[in-house]
Amino acid sequence: MKRRESGKNVLNQYPADSGVEKAFKAIGIISLILPVSLLLILIIDTTADGIPRLNWSFLTSFPSRFPEKAGILSALVGSVYLIGLTAFIAIPLGIGAAIYLEEYARKNRITSLIEINISNLAGVPSIIYGLLGLGLFVRIMSLGRSLIAGALTLSLLLLPMIIMAARESLKTIPQELREAAYALGADKWMTIRKVVLPLGLPGILTGIILSLSRAIGETAPLITIGALTYIAFLPESLTSPFTTLPIQIFNWISRPQKEFHVNAAAGILVLLIIMLLMNALAIWLRIRLQKRNV
Amino acid sequence: MGKKVKKLLIAMTSLAIVLMVGCRGSSDRSVESGRKDFSGMVLIDGSSTVFPITEAVAEEFQREYPGVRVTVGISGTGGGFKKFYAGETDICNASRPIKESERRECEKNGIEFIELPVAFDGLAVMVNPRNDWCHSMTVQELKRLWEPAAQGRILRWNQIRPDWPDEEIHLYGAGVDSGTFDYFTEAIVGKEQASRGDFTASEDDNVLVQGIATDKYALGFFGLAYYEENKDKLKLVAIDDENPENGVGPVLPTEETVANGTYQPLSRPIFIYVRKDSLENKPQVEEFVRFYIRNAPALVKEVGYIPLPARAYELVMRRIDNRVTGTTFSGSKVGLSIEEIIGK
C-alpha cells in the first residue's frame, strides 16, 4: 500500500510518465486476458464436446473399435501407475541431490559444473529423454517397453526440475536458523532433519507436484520408448506393457470418425481433472505447511 | 517432521496402494469362458493406417481367448519395421511392402517373416465441394503438380489445364513420415519420397480434411476412410491412369473400383508381417494370425477399409499353412492383381 502511494507522488512530480504507466498497465492486462481467455475457450469447447461422453463406463472400459463402447481404463490406470512409480523413483533422488548440493557440497568448480549441467538438463526437450530411455533402459538394460522403463525415463526428465525446485526452496531458509541450531549443539544431520527440511518442505512439495503434473501430460518420450496404443488389460508387474492417457487421446483424435473425437474430448477432461486435483493438492499442502512453520 | 505432515504422507501412500490394489482386482474378471488353453502375449507395432483393423481384430480375439494379451503400438510403418527386425515384436503393421533395406536388416538379424496382405486402402485425391471445374485428373497432370520440379513453379489452377481458373492452388498432403506419403509419391511421381515441399503436410488427416473443406482452391490427398467420414465436406477427383487395361477414362475410388484394381494407381494393399519363429514357437501368435485372416472380411469393412477378394484371403491362409517366407509385393509392378502377386 505504502509503495503505491509513494508511486503516486512520483507520478505527480513527473506527469509525463503517467501515460507510460497507463500503457504498461494496459499491456499487462491484455497479456493476462489473452492467454486466460484462450484457455477458457479451449476448456469450454472441450467440456461441451466431452461432457456427454463422460460416465462411469467410459472410465471402466477398455479401448474398442466402437467409439460408444470404448473407454480409458487401461490408459487411466497406466497413467496412475506410471506417475506413482515415477514419483517413487524421482522424489527421493531429487530431494537427496538437492540437500547434498545445498548443504554438504563445497562450493568449487566441480559443484558449479554440476549445477550448470542440471539447469541445462531442465531445458532439454522431452523427446531427447525418450531417445535416451529407449537406448538405455529398453535396449541396453533390456527392460523392454515396460512400465518401469517408462517410469525411469520420466524420472530422468523430472529429476532436474525437482532438484532445482528443492534447491530454490532450501536456499530461502535463512543461514541464521542453521547457525542457531548449531549453537544449540545440533550436528549437521540433526539440523537438516529438524530445521532445514521441515522449513523447506512446502516449497519442495509444490515443485514436485507441479513437475509431476507436467509428467502426466507427457507423450513424446513415452511414444519413443514404445508405450503402446491398444491394450485391453491392466499392468500386472513392473515389466508389463502399458499405455497412458495422452497417448490414448492422441490416437482418438487422429481417427476419422467424429465419435472418437468426442471420446478424445472426454479423455482430455479426465486428464484435466487429474491435473487440477494435483495442482490443488500442491497449493493446499503449501498453505498448510507454511501455516505450521509460522 | 510435524505429526500432521506424517499423517498426510501416510494417508497419501495408503491411498496410492489402495488405488493400485483396487485396480488390479478388477483385471481378473476377464477370465471367464472361452478357449483357455492359449495364453501369453502377441506383440504388434507399426503403421497407424493398419492400426484400426488390427485393433478391431485384437478386440474380438481377446473376447474369445481371454488368456492371450495382445498389444498394438503405433510407430509408423518404418518405426514398426525397426522394432520388428530388432526382434522386439511378433507382428508388424505395414501400409506398404517391406523395403529392400529393411529386408536386409531382417536377414542380418536372422528374422524370417511371412508377408500377409489384409485389406485394400484407397488414396483419394480431393477438392473443395465448391470447386466446380476439377472433376478428374490424369496421373500425368498429378505428376506435373506434385513432382519436385513443380515447387515454386506450378502455383495456379490454370497451369494444370488452361481452361481451369486463374487462381492459386493450395496443396495438402499426408505427412512425409507416413506410408501414405511414400505410396502417393511412388505411384504418382514414380519415386518414393520425391515430392514438392511447398504443401501443407500433416500426420493428422483430420487437419487436411479441415484445410480442404474450408478452402475453395485446395487440393489434397489422403486415405479413403477419411473421405467416407467427411463426404459432405469434400469432393472426390476421379483419376485416369491412361491405361485402358484397367478401366477406360477417369475412375472414382469406390469399394468396387479399389477392390477390382481399376482405381489405379492409387489403391494399395496393406499388410501385416509375421515373424516366422513367433508363428512356430508361440501358438497364440499363429492362432491370432489365423483369426485375423478369418475375420478380416467383416472387420476390415467395419473400420472403413476395403476387404480383399475372397480368393485372396484363401491364398493368404495358404501362405500361413505353408509358412511361405519373404516378400512378393516389394518392388512388384503396379497393375498386377492381388491374387497374382500372392500366388507368386
- In eight-state DSSP terms, residue B275 is E
Confirm whether B25 is domain-assigned. Answer: no
Confirm whether A251 is domain-assigned. Answer: yes
Whole-number pLDDT of residue B57: 95
Q: Is residue B259 domain-shared with residue B318, that is, in the same domain?
A: no
CATH code: domain of residue A203: 1.10.3720.10
CA max distance for chain A: 72
Distance (Å, rounded) from C-alpha B197 to C-alpha B186? 15
Q: Is residue B133 domain-shared with residue B191, that is, in the same domain?
A: yes
* Best residue of B57, B59, B288 to probe chain A, by most A CBs closer than 10 Å: B59
Distance (Å, rounded) from C-alpha B296 to C-alpha B307? 7
Contact B70 A257 (CB under 8 A): no
Whole-number pLDDT of residue B30: 41
Strand partners, B257: none
Confirm whether B14 is domain-assigned. Answer: no
CB interface of B with A, residues 24-43, below 8 Å: 24, 26-27, 30, 41, 43
Q: Is the dihedral of CA B280, B281, B285, B291 positive or negative?
A: positive
Confirm whether B26 is domain-assigned. Answer: no
Question: What are the C-alpha distances in Å from B84 to residues A225, A229, B94, B272?
Answer: 14, 17, 11, 11
**Domain count of chain A?**
1
Question: What are the C-alpha distances in Å from A143 to residues A136, A139, A203?
Answer: 9, 7, 34
Nearest CA-CA partner of A151 in A80, A224, A85:
A85
- For A12-69, write each residue's pLDDT tens digit: 555 566 788 889 999 999 999 999 999 999 999 988 888 888 888 888 888 888 888 8
Distance (Å, rounded) from C-alpha A252 to C-alpha B68? 24
- Structural domain containing residue B198: 122-267
Cis peptide before A125 (omega within 30 of 0): no
What are the pLDDT tens digits along chain B (344 aa)?
455 555 655 665 555 554 554 444 444 444 444 466 788 889 999 988 899 999 999 999 998 998 899 999 888 888 899 989 988 899 999 988 898 899 999 999 999 999 999 999 888 999 999 999 999 999 999 999 999 988 888 899 999 899 899 999 999 998 877 778 888 888 888 888 888 888 988 877 888 888 899 999 999 998 888 888 888 889 999 998 887 777 778 888 888 888 877 888 888 889 999 999 999 999 999 999 999 999 999 999 888 889 998 888 999 999 999 888 888 887 666 556 777 787 76
Give the angle subtended at the CA of A109 by the CAs of A104 and A110, to the nearest 5°. 60
B218-223 and B113-127: which strand pairing? antiparallel
CATH code: domain of residue B291: 3.40.190.10
CB-CB: which of A198, A254, A289 is closest to B206? Answer: A254
Q: In this model, does residue A5 exceed pLDDT 90? A: no
Q: Which three cell numbers stand for residue A79?
A: 497413467
Confirm whether B29 is domain-assigned. Answer: no
What share of chain A has pLDDT > 70, as a percent?
94
Contact A197 B1 (CB under 8 A): yes
Distance (Å, rounded) from C-alpha B71 to C-alpha B51? 11
A239–B contact, CB cutoff 8 A: no
B54 close to B93: Cβ distance less than 8 angstroms? yes
A70–B contact, CB cutoff 8 A: no
- In eight-state DSSP terms, residue A65 is S
Is A251 in a helix, a strand, or coil? Answer: helix
The last residue of a domain, from among B267, B298, B325 = B267
Give the angle subtended at the CA of A89 by the CAs of A85 and A93, to the nearest 5°. 160
Confirm whether B112 is domain-assigned. Answer: yes
Structure-model confidence comparison of residues A90 and B24, the more confident one: A90
- Structural domain containing residue A97: 62-293
Residues of A in contact with B304 (CB under 8 A): 256-257
Q: Which three cell numbers stand for residue A43?
A: 476448456
Q: How many Cα atoms sit within 13 Å of B132 on the Cβ side? A: 1
Residues of B in contact with A291 (CB under 8 A): none
Q: Is residue B94 domain-shared with residue B47, that is, in the same domain?
A: yes
- For A205-217, write each residue's pLDDT tens digit: 888 988 888 888 8
Contact B229 A257 (CB under 8 A): yes
Write phi, then psi, for B340 (nearest 5 degrees). -60, -40
Closest residue in A to B57 (Cα–Cα)? A65
Q: Is residue B319 domain-shared with residue B205, that is, in the same domain?
A: no
B238 close to B136: Cβ distance less than 8 angstroms? yes
Q: Is residue B179 domain-shared with residue B254, that is, in the same domain?
A: yes
The last residue of a domain, from among B267, B285, B310 = B267
Q: Is residue B89 domain-shared with residue B143, that is, in the same domain?
A: no
Nearest CA-CA partner of B185 in B134, B138, B221:
B221
Confirm whether A79 is domain-assigned. Answer: yes
- For A223-266, write each residue's pLDDT tens digit: 888 777 888 888 888 888 889 999 999 888 888 788 888 999 99
CB interface of B with A, residues 81-100, below 8 Å: 83, 88
Confirm whether B33 is domain-assigned. Answer: no
B69–A contact, CB cutoff 8 A: yes
Q: Is residue B299 domain-shared with residue B173, that is, in the same domain?
A: no
Nearest CA-CA partner of A84 in A287, A292, A274, A293:
A274
Confirm whether A191 is domain-assigned. Answer: yes
What share of chain A has pLDDT > 90, as a percent?
35
Q: How many Cα atoms sit within 13 Å of B182 on the Cβ side? A: 16
Characterise B111 by phi-psi region: left (phi > 0), alpha (psi -120 to 50), beta (else): beta
Q: Is residue B111 domain-shared with residue B234, that is, in the same domain?
A: no
Nearest CA-CA partner of A11 in A273, A22, A161:
A22
Q: Is residue B252 domain-shared with residue B273, that is, in the same domain?
A: no
B332–A contact, CB cutoff 8 A: no
Residues of A in contact with B82 (CB under 8 A): none
Residues of A in contact with B58 (CB under 8 A): 230, 232
CB-CB: which of B16, B23, B206 is closest to A234? Answer: B23
B199 close to B150: Cβ distance less than 8 angstroms? no
Confirm whether B152 is domain-assigned. Answer: yes
Q: How far is B107 from chain A (nearest CA, A)?
A: 20
B3–A contact, CB cutoff 8 A: no
Whole-number pLDDT of residue B255: 84
Whole-number pLDDT of residue A79: 92
CA B190 to chain centroid? 20
Q: Is residue B251 domain-shared with residue B276, that is, in the same domain?
A: no
Whole-number pLDDT of residue B1: 46
Model pTM? Answer: 0.78
Confirm whether B6 is domain-assigned. Answer: no
Whole-number pLDDT of residue A88: 93
Nearest CA-CA partner of A286 in A208, A170, A212, A203:
A203
- ipTM greater than 0.90, yes or no? no
B245–A contact, CB cutoff 8 A: no
Confirm whether A102 is domain-assigned. Answer: yes
Whole-number pLDDT of residue B33: 45
Question: What are the C-alpha distances in Å from A2 to residues A7, A8, A9?
Answer: 9, 10, 11
Contact A228 B71 (CB under 8 A): yes
Whole-number pLDDT of residue A9: 54
The last residue of a domain, from among B267, B287, B304 = B267
Contact B74 A234 (CB under 8 A): no
Q: Is residue B64 domain-shared with residue B126, that is, in the same domain?
A: no
Strand partners, B220: B126, B172
Confirm whether A195 is domain-assigned. Answer: yes
**Domain count of chain B?**
2
Q: Is residue B220 domain-shared with residue B237, that is, in the same domain?
A: yes
Q: Which three cell numbers stand for residue A258?
A: 467424429
Give the angle subtended at the CA of A229 by the CAs of B303 and A75, to the nearest 5°. 115
CB-CB: which of A77, A256, A289 is closest to B205? Answer: A256
